[in-house]
Amino acid sequence: MRKLRICSRLEASVTWLTLAVTLLCICHDNLLCLADRSVPATTYRIDGKTNIKDIFKCSGIHFIGSFNEYYVACELSVPAQETLQLLEVVDVTLDGSKLSPLPGVHAELSFQLNTSIATVSMRNSQLLASAVEIRAANVTMDEHSAVNVTARGLKFGPGYNSWNSMGGSYGGIGGASLTDGRSNCDDMPPNGFFRVVGDVSVDMANFRGYGSGGGNDESRGGGRIRLVAAQNVEIDGSLLANGGDACTNCYDSAGAGGSILIVATERIHGNATVQANGGQPSVRIADELHDGGGGGGGGGGRILFDSKNAEELGPSRVEAYGGGFSSDKNAAIGWCQLGGDGTILKLQHTTKEGEGLGGSDVQGQSRGEDGKTLLSTLLIKGGRLAHSGPVKRIQIYGCTPIFEQTSRGAQFLPESLAHIFVNGGATVCASVVQLKDSVGDVESSIVIDSGSELNVLDRDRVVQLSASQITIQGYVGPSSLQERDLFSLNLIAADVSFSNALAMTFQVVVQLICPGVQHQHPPCPRISTKQ
């Protein structure tokens, strides 16, 4: 009996000890859970296991202007989003079309994070949608990643010509289409499609910043990309907003490039590929077995960089080219099918001492919020000049139009614009381009480089350029080279230079002025010519 009692007491002690340990473990686990809940998560990862429908919340269907197209705005919605310090997008392809409620409805992806602390990091990943917008403190992208909105813009849009068949227009005017009635470029009438589509500051307007299409689902314009960082944007991957190519088995033309806007309070740098190119034209084929093609190339889109200092991306990898190449090796594409090049606007915040400053203003005011200088440069470059041999003029049907006002009556060019460079064989069409004598302490300039062209806008009879310095090294005159299309050229500047230039005009009038003194002739200006 004594042994039994000892055993029972021992078993009871073990039972109580086991119960105490169990309660202690439960209490410890609960404390850990409470501790985890009290500290917000600082990192969220999106990877191949993530279902895109679980992390985005989409709006109802909205109209896109009056263009008979629609979109849904889909915003990222993940736990503790306001306190995230790092959003990782790793080894995944996120296709926004999976969020579209109906076929043909555009899906726009928006990543709105805390711009004080959050970094968005893309590694070996793809973002596909009609539009992608990322706002954070920092944005980084490795060389294996891309944001791709190519051919996801409008099927028609404000840059679609419903009267004459041609490529979609945006930053550049689309190329003409070859048809049964006009199978040769020499049969083409002068270009008469000069419609204002947005502005060089990449205003979304009523078309959501999309490129206009050529009338086919495959030849849509490019979509929209916007990256806005309170600190830095570092891109080693690709940002692609190209237009779709012209149809090869039908008569539809190519789409225009879309829009890309990158804003960083500090730096924009990396080894990125940034493209808002127009779609490619198609070869005209008319025989017993095949009848189709001949569509015009799309116009280039619009790109804007806004940072403390000038963006630091490789210039050769930033493109807003018009669609198409015409050369001895590609004689099947006519010169009239080539689309006009788009625009690249660079905004830089500087001080007199050369220091940078924040306060982005993509509308292009010449002074920031703190009164410091905001300086901008407009680059219009083509990609059709030969890399060797003598520079030859590139004849195209479209052009890059520079208007005085937008369709809403606002200024087409920003007040901060100090420089306009036209190079690479690009063609600019304008009536009046008037820059301030200087922006801050920087004298303004307009350069038409060798191989590039200045033409008249909308059949006006006069082109007037005004800046502190004007340099003409390319061709000034009508693309048609016809006497009936000649116009006058008026230059107002303190320093005018003609170097190996060719002017086919009624007349060239040069009005020399001193910087800061309008319409006077003091002894300070100069004009130089070089054969």
Say whether pLDDT at 128 is over 80: yes
Compute the C-alpha angle 405/342/143, nearest 5°.
135
Residues pairing with 466 in the sheet? 434, 492
Least confident of 128-137, 305-314, 406-415: 305-314
Other beta carbons within 10 angstroms of residue 115's beta carbon come to 15
- pLDDT of 179 reads 86
- pLDDT of 3 reads 44
Interstrand relation of 131-141 and 224-235 (parallel, antiparallel or unpaired):
parallel
Average pLDDT, the chain: 86
- pLDDT of 314 reads 82
Helix (H, G, I), strand (E, B) or coil at 34: helix
Least confident of 375-384, 421-430, 479-488: 479-488
Compute the distance between CA of residue 467 and CA of residue 475 in angstroms, rounded to an integer.
19
* Cα R_g (the chain), whole angstroms: 29
Residues pairing with 419 in the sheet? 377, 445
Give which of 330, 7, 269 is closest to 138, Cα–Cα.
Answer: 269
Compute the distance between CA of residue 108 and CA of residue 282 in angstroms, rounded to an integer.
30
Contact 389, 162 (CB under 8 A): no
- Average pLDDT in the 50-76 region? 97
Q: Which residues of 189-218 are buried (b: 16+ CB within 10 A; e: fewer)?
A: eebebbebbbbbbbbebebbbbbbbbbbeb
- pLDDT of 460 reads 78
Q: How does residue 187 score in pLDDT terms, banded at 50, 70 and 90?
A: confident
Interstrand relation of 445-448 and 417-423 (parallel, antiparallel or unpaired):
parallel
- pLDDT of 330 reads 58
Compute the distance between CA of residue 264 and CA of residue 139 in angstroms, rounded to an integer.
9
Percent of the chain residues topping a pLDDT of 70: 81
Query: Tokens at residue 201, please?
Result: 């500051």
Contact 470, 491 (CB under 8 A): yes
- In the numeric block, the tokens 């002739």 are attached to 521
- pLDDT of 40 reads 53
Helix (H, G, I), strand (E, B) or coil at 77: coil
Other beta carbons within 10 angstroms of residue 110's beta carbon come to 18
More confident of the two residues 29 and 176? 176
Compute the C-alpha angle 281/286/289, nearest 5°.
115
- pLDDT of 531 reads 43
Q: How does residue 292 score in pLDDT terms, banded at 50, 70 and 90?
A: confident
- Average pLDDT in the 389-406 region? 84
H helix runs in 198-347, sequence order: none
More confident of the two residues 180 and 259? 259
Q: How does residue 521 score in pLDDT terms, banded at 50, 70 and 90?
A: very low
- Average pLDDT in the 60-82 region? 96
Compute the distance between CA of residue 294 and CA of residue 179 in angstroms, rounded to an integer.
7
